Chain A
Amino acid sequence: MKSIALFGLTGQGIETAGEILSKVIESLGYTHRNWRDFSTIIRGGYTSFEIYIADKYETESPPRLEEIDLAVVWTDEGVDRYLSRLKDKSMIFGPANVKSISIDHQGNPPKLGFNIWSLGIICGHLGIPYQLVMKEVEMRFKKGKNSDLFESGYQLGLTVRSEEPLSDLGVENATISGNDALCLGAIAGDVRYYYGYPITPASEILENLSKWLPPLGGGTFQVEDEIAAIHAALGCSYAGKRTFVATSGPGLALMTEGLGYAAATEIPLVLVDNQRGGPSTGMPTKTEQSDLLHLMNAGHGEFARILLTPTSVLDCIVTIQEALNLSEYYQCPVIIALDLDLALRKISIPWERIESAISSVEIDRGPTFLKSSIEGIYKRFAAVGSSPPIRTVPGVKGGAYVASGDEHDEKGLMEPDFKKVRRTLHIRRLNKANSIQYNRPFSRVGDEGSPITIIGTGAMGELIENFVKNNPGVYQGLLIRQLAPLPKEELTVALKNAKRIVVAEYNAKAQIRTILESVLEDKEVHSLLRFDGEHFTDKEFNEEILAILNEVTSNLTN
């Protein structure tokens, strides 16, 4: 595994350099993972880009790595951040005025141009052919000065050329983020319209779909607020077209009335919450998994809901397709909870993996009459045996009904006999998703009989997977994909042999552990909690887990 870091100020084009680097490495067919750091202020302050590259053909992207092979930094703060993480302390480069950098690793790049100079160093070190990178650079920047900056960096990088330089693996790779993955899955799931309001870290979804939907005959609307977004989505869904909404904490708060409305009217709705540090505006650019208890209960009154939590970028492609199907079958809100790190992390993996995730779910519109007509008296909200009611959409003759947030009878009419409908319709609507048909409520990594279980989801997935794989036989990992309804039976079986359990999550109040409480009884349970907005590196995570379990495992590599 190779790992590189680039550190500078926001506005210096650090991310652009990172994107070029990732693009070039993608074209060589190397599986990799990018990591972006943001200042807590969306503009202003420091930023950094890290990239972790597999050594050969790999189908899984690496987790966030602690150890760095080479760092290029703009200021002393970069030295403070990266010197301790360098495998070889001399492998740090930067301008002449920066501390702790040896003279032969210094240069004089201008403030705007530091990114291209750095890119040169990194590419020289990795042994990426000069022309390959220049082609990308010239596509984004003017010729001339940039070529000179890149050239001088590249020559510097060649002085520390890797012993195993990158070559062309001949693999077709693609680079996607969790947000990209959601968009791919949504389009595969027949979403053609999208209504959104910009918010970090969900804006990418609106941006992507604004480019990707029009050629398919659909489109997006940037609406005036999240209240409008969720109601427009409800209108679209009522009209029989598939859509979803995506937001983050503050937007979720505004959408909450609409969430309850969807439940009351049994209009299918998929809501994505890209969780960020809260409460309030909180830490808009930092990761957290702190909305989960809210999502389990959000909305006034009582109603059924399904809460899904993707465990990786690829899983986002699958989960949103499953969510669209579930929402139309059960006709209740289906919520997908991501966290910022998973939403924004970019991984580059073989296209065939993405292709198989896209193709893994068939579209199922549930008990919905999309065409033709209905004979006899139609009752929109009448249960069909123990199954959800039959839904019609405008255009279906004989299927007209009123969808109302006011409590209603089986035809949808308000001012019903409350005593009657609360015992019948309301109870049906309340309990319809108590146990759902969902194939994979969690993913297991490691051996089933292992005595120690690590539980987590979202951004934590890659770390648990990495940890368990490096410690075979001792641990199993359960990556949770479904929190509501709680897959109690399946989890109980999976935890049968587990004596000791660590639940790892990005919040201060152990929310996942709280939700799982009923399956954790009689076990020795520990919490690994982090809530400073940062995503663990592999080493940090491994050390934290071991410290909690208070044991040293000799076969750990780091």
Chain B
Amino acid sequence: MKPIATTRTVIGMSTGKLAVWWVIASEIVIFGGVLASYIMHRIGHPEWADQAAYTNTWAGAFNTLVLLTSSLSAVLAHQAAERKEGKKAARYLYLTCVGAAMFLVVKSIEWSTEIHHGFTLQSGGFWSFYYLAAGIHGVHVIAGAILMIWIAQYAKKNEELQRVEYIGLYWHFVDLVWIFLFPLLYIAK
């Protein structure tokens, strides 16, 4: 049973959505810290370009496409949820998870190839940041996918449909981080 507190909406926005935006705001400064640190080092160390040249732009671009498409399916899930079409929303959520899985598979292949070539976390400044930034991002992808599956269990029964929007907002944020990681790690060489 939810407390009465959960049901009030004095500022005109549902509590769950407000909470997700707060989460996003605090995640902005976490990723911001990582990215700002990386950018400062990258600009200060032009010789990192030699290392950066080894990142696989096509893998990065494909992953960007995958995440953009998964954002589409996430927002379509939200639209279905708004129309009370729980089963459809759940299906779109599963589709988004498929996108997440594809992203992670490509990333694993990418990383194993790079590690095989000797580019590990310890290979120097550029690679440390590369694995750190993409790694923290990847952890958020995994967490998002797990939450989505959990929320889909309720959504397909037309329960707690508002959560579809909330996880969608989180997922769009994960996509946004990648939108900036992609040029930083794969284009700016």
Whether A and B are associated in the same complex: the answer reads: no
Hey, which bits of chain B sit against chain A, CB under 8 A?
A: none
Hey, which bits of chain A sit against chain B, CB under 8 A?
A: none
